[in-house]
Amino acid sequence: MKKTTIWLLTIIMALTFCSLLYIQIMYMNNMIRMRDDQFAEGVRRALYSVSTSLEQDETRYFLEEDAAAMQASLYQREDGTGSLNYSFTTPEGLEANIIISSDKNTVPSLEQKPPVSANAGKYRSLQETIKGQYLYQKGLLNEVILNILSQSSNRPIHERADSTAVASYLKTEFQNNGLNLPFEFAVVNRAARIVYKSHGYDPATVGRNNMFVQALFPNDPASRMNYIKVYFPTKYDYIMSSMKFLIPSFIFTLILLMVFVYTIVVAFRQKRLTEMKNDFINNMTHEFKTPISSISLAAQMLNDDSVRKSPGMMQHIATVINDETKRLRFQVEKVLQLSMFERQKATLRLQEIDANSAISNIISTFKLKVESYGGKIEADLRAENALVEVDEMHFTNVIFNLLDNAVKYRREDEPLRLTVSTADVGGDKLEIRISDNGIGIKREDLKKIFEKFYRVSTGNRHDVKGFGLGLAYVHKMVRELNGAIRAESDFGHGTTFIINLPLTTIN
């Protein structure tokens, strides 16, 4: 799959996931807003019902008192007539007195059938008169009730709205509106001073849009108004509990998003690995081609009779075949190192060696190669304790690989200078430094140089031979030996590889 195709799929899937998450978030916000509005509407209806119930209690209280007073003024006369006397003051300050009298013998019953005699017209006239008196008396009674309500504001609020009754009304009305959750309330006056409150009432803990206010007696004068304030400590949990069905949707979406991201990362990793393997195959082909061609040419020369008759030429051809065979075997061994990366643990033959002595022997062997390029290699083995437990063959290969890299990536305009040093670090570690003055490594490549098949110069460039396995092998073997390796480089001025290995003994 092309890289552009992967990027296109990534962008499309990313936009799809972002849109899906946006829709889910917007839907959740709308649901929360709708539930909050429904909650507020239910609370307002409940508070209005509580206020109405308190007004009805107030009216019932005054009517019962006035009924007792009116009952005393109702009397029965000896001639069979009765009267009802009621005094009141209108809101405009006018005083009035209502006397309703009747004679049960002279006033006909409304339920009586109208006479069919000549008195029918007189009966209808009397009926209209009674109806008019009824409507007039009804209007007066309405004014009497309003007057009662206006005068009731003079009573203390504790008597008009008992805290126990208010709490009972609130609980009942909230349950009737489907709001069966804890609440706290307080009754305050016009100056916002608390008259009484519930035990857990604390305005400091009230969240946004969670305080509801309702006038207890809306018909009271403005100067005598009292209000009830209610809030719900668990309102947020109550509203969010209705959103539980959205949680699985979010979880599944996030799981899909993580799987998608992981898939894209793996796709890019596999793409890069494929490119590295292609580079490896190209480089391996060129690496094998040279020794094979040399051996083939030597074999052809052996078919020449004149060559077979010359001992010197035979010796030269034998040397060429031997050298190229060693070179080919060395490349094959590098390829076989691939199998080591597929195993979790390499097979090591650990033994205690003196790192200073081993490194000194390696430098002696490698010195000729460095000098053949006009370079110089120096040793600074200052570690007093250099006993480490390693596989000697792999330890030697690690140092050889690092020195070989220094030769490969040398600068053409300056003689090669190599320095190998050892030092004690922290008393329980041996530090090995291999420094050169080569071309260096760019910062973006420095963190990738230990990856399998990775080469700073990729593609079909073959000015520097290799498979991209050397440093990966070095990194794996150092880790297998319970050590650590890192690289420091200044591009254009050289590179230093630092290896730390645990000591077997501590001075």
pLDDT in tens, 308-359: 778 888 888 888 788 778 767 766 766 665 555 555 555 678 889 999 999 9
pLDDT of residue 91: 47
| Residue that is written with structure tokens 């304030």 in the block | 229
Residue 374 one-letter amino acid = G
Place of tokens 């909230």: 174
**Are the C-beta atoms of residues 210 and 232 closer than 8 Å to each other?**
yes
Condensed to tens digits (0 to 9), the pLDDT of residues 147-174 reads 665 566 677 888 888 888 899 999 999 9
Q: What is the rounded distance in angstroms from the CA atom of residue 78 to the CA atom of residue 398? A: 135
Q: Is 183 helix (H, G, I), strand (E, B) or coil?
A: coil
Q: Return all residues near 43 (Cβ < 8 A) that are at least 6 apart.
A: 174, 177, 179, 212, 230, 232
Cα angle 84, 90, 95; round to 5: 65
Q: Which CATH number applies to 343-502: 3.30.565.10, 3.30.465.10, 3.40.50.970, 3.90.470.20?
A: 3.30.565.10
d(CA 194, CA 229): 10
Token pair recorded at residue 234: 């668990």
Structure tokens at 64: 């019962």
Cα separation, 35 vs 43, whole angstroms: 12
Beta strands in 296-366 (DSSP E): 350-354
Determine the length of the chain.
Answer: 507
Chain centre distance of CA 156: 55
Report d(CA 441, CA 490) in Å as an integer: 7
C-alpha neighbours within 13 Å on the C-beta side of residue 490:
5
DSSP string, 187-229: EEETT--EEEE-TT--GGG--TT-EEEEES-TTS-GGG-EEEE
With CA atoms as reference, report the closest residue to 103 among 125, 122, 77, 124: 77
pLDDT of residue 79: 44
φ/ψ of residue 416, rounded to 5: -70, 135
DSSP state of 80: S
Rounded Cα–Cα distance for residues 262 and 268 (Å)? 10
Q: What is the pLDDT of residue 494?
A: 87
CA pair distance 432, 360, nearest whole angstrom: 12
> What's this model's pTM, rounded to 2 decimal places?
0.45
The pLDDT score that the predictor gives to residue 222 is: 81
Report the candidate in 468, 466, 444 with the shortest Cα–Cα distance to residue 455: 468
User: Would you say 229 and 211 are in contact if contact means Cβ atoms under 8 Å apart?
Assistant: yes
339/348 Cα distance (integer angstroms): 15
Identify residue 434 by its one-letter amino acid code.
Answer: I
Q: What per-residue confidence (pLDDT) applies to 186? A: 92
Tokens found for residue 32: 């929360």
CA separation (Å) from 468 to 26, 267, 277, 476?
51, 21, 9, 13
Q: Tokens 């946004």 label which residue?
A: 208
Q: What are phi and psi of 447, to 5 degrees?
A: -80, -5
Low-confidence residues of the chain, pLDDT below 50? Answer: 74-82, 90-92, 104, 106-114, 116, 458-462, 507
> Helices 311-342 and 470-480: crossing angle, nearest 10°?
60
Given a contact cutoff of 8 angstroms between Cβ atoms, the answer to whether 495 and 438 are in contact is yes
The tokens for 470 are 């050397």
Measured distance CA(104)–CA(40) in Å, rounded:
56
